[in-house]
Chain A
Amino acid sequence: MIRVEGIHKSFGKVHAVRGVSFDAPDGKITGLLGPNGAGKSTTLRVLYTVLKPDEGRALIDGADVVTQSLDARRRIGALPHGAGLYPHLTARENVAYYARLCGIEPSAIDERVEDIIRLLEIGDFADRRTKGFSQGQRTKVALARSLVHDPQNIILDEPSNGLDVMATRSLRDLILKLKDAGRCVLFSSHVMQEVAALCDDICIIANGRVAIDDSADGIRERTGCDDLEDAFVEAIRMVEPA
């Protein structure tokens, strides 16, 4: 599970994240929802340890992302926004490279890579070099790569960006499979419908702050809007500077 406690992060004069806190429990899908530039990516980057928070802390299964970052990373499978592959390696080699880096026993690597290829249904193009892959193929391979060490916590930054209907659907199926396996899935999106269809908990972020953190029904109730989109707009207004 992922616990975020009062994270602040500034880039120069820009105060991108201003005290974000939330929990993402195991066996549930948590959605980080917000308009562009709300601080979603920055928050997730702190969680997968490429950024250090200025204030506050974040724990991955109890491991602090700053002081125990190697431990924390062992428990995370991260798909950053626009994650790229190595174009001269095949999809399988891309995945196997990450498997080796994650310290999987050399004898077990082939099997593990085969498993993940089957899980993500990328067998058809697994042995082709990734140069020229479609966005959907690329995202799947990148996802396979970040899941190869079987992490308990999965962090996806706008994973459905640029995907067509079929690819989005298979991504959704995969996320549900991960949830059923008891994993903690945290993903960000700026698309209300997508989050509403999938998430158990929704954390709406705007202007670097948490506007509301509740289930879809809870959000409807608290904002007094039946329509989720209206609720989203209403929630954002609550934290907008006057």
Chain B
Amino acid sequence: MRTLLTVFRKEVLDNVRDRRTLASALIMGPLFGPLLFAFVINLSIERSLDDAERVIELPVIGQEYAPNLLRYLESRNIDVVEGPADRDAALDAVSTGTHDVVVVIPPEFGEQFTEAVPARVEVIADQSNSQAGRQARRVRGALHAYSSELASIRLSARGISPLVLRPLNIDDVDVSTPSGRSAILLGMMSYFFIFALLMGGMYLAIDTTAGERERGSLEPLLALPVTRNQLLFGKIAATCVFMALSLCLSLGSFFVALKFMPLDELGMTPNFGPLTVAAAFLVLSPFILLGAAVMTLVASFTKSYREAQTWLSVVLLAPTLPILIVSILTLRPRLEFMFVPSLSQHLLLIDMVKNEPLDPLHVAISAGSTLLLGALLTWVCARLYRREGLLG
């Protein structure tokens, strides 16, 4: 036990002194995720908010043929401006990106309009450009609204109730709660936590085998009167501590970042107070041992530090797989899922954010299966640490 502690203390000291590694482990992982997340959410909120009320400029060709239509567009925050010379110039301007959307009103518009046959209006836009697509949707929406308004007026003029055009009256009843809605957006955060957790211990995990070997310090270490298990367990313990630290930091940074996200404007209030943060740590903590064991195990097969880094970046992505599969297939949480590490933590975390009570059985299975797998892989690591091939 004393040997194990000695190894543990040395690994911690060594890692703390390596500033660049420490910075990447404890700043990159925990801060990068939430910051990126906050940035993306802020951006999308701002976009969705101001798109509806922002005034857009719309070049229209043939303005003289439909003055009423133009007035209607103005009332919907669409500023009509002078368009290109003709239809061909408009097609050109849209495909080169000079204009996002151009509306063409043909000369026969007035005639068709008075004869009450469908009057043609062209909306020219590049559908592959998402910004232009949004603008085109708004223009089209305004045109549709104008169209149905006119339809009602024409029906009324012929003595028919405009209600015949609405055989159905569809009413949406949304039972989701503000914290439930936030789970859609915050569902991905569980992966950020696992990512940060793994990042925190990555360099130590590499150092346990590939790093020590590359530096030439493994062989003298193994020639000392200590068992290899003591060395390995000490190193894995140190890896776990850095992973736990990294997880704490990332939970904390997320907690702070959420305060700066205008989620309530999207009708979301995530349940992510200090108590949830603490509970999230407890739910995620069994993953620490598993993460440390998997990373140490993968690194032990590699020949060099560089190779280990390459392989471990793959390991960083592995926990997304079960989460991704379940969300693509939109499966409801089931008891069996609690046996899958990373997925079970993800599902439990979502329940917490939704402010739904956790099933103690689910928590127990999640923690138990993850810990068991972690212990099993640690044992495999210990077996591998004893083989001669370790020296490379």
Contact = CB atoms under 8 A, between A and B. Distances in A.
Contact of B227 (A70, A86, A98): A70
Contacts, number: 79
Contacts of B220: 78-80, 83, 98, 142, 145-146
Contact of A101 (B6, B13, B215, B216): B6
Nearest to B216: A84
Contact of A74 (B17, B225, B227): B225
Interface in A102-117: 102-103
B227 A83 contact: no
A76 interface: yes
A120 interface: no
B6, B220, B391, most chain A CB atoms within 10 A: B220
Interface string B131-170: 0000000000000000000000000000000000000000
Given A100-B6, A101-B3, A101-B7, A80 B219 contact: yes
Interface of B is mostly: helix
B18 A78 contact: no
B217 A86 contact: yes
A48, A76, A80, A142, most chain B CB atoms within 10 A: A80
Given A50-B219, A50-B391, A80-B219, A102 B17 contact: no
A48 B223 contact: yes
Interface in A37-83: 45, 48-52, 70-71, 73-74, 76, 78-80, 82-83
Given A74-B225, A100-B3, 14 more contacts: A45-B219, A70-B225, A71-B225, A78-B220, A78-B223, A83-B216, A83-B217, A84-B215, A87-B215, A98-B224, A100-B2, A101-B3, A101-B221, A146-B223
16 contacts: A51-B391, A70-B225, A76-B223, A85-B215, A88-B14, A88-B17, A88-B18, A89-B14, A89-B17, A101-B7, A101-B221, A101-B224, A101-B226, A129-B17, A145-B220, A146-B223
Interface of A: 45, 48-52, 70-71, 73-74, 76, 78-80, 82-89, 93, 97-98, 100-103, 129, 142, 145-146, 149
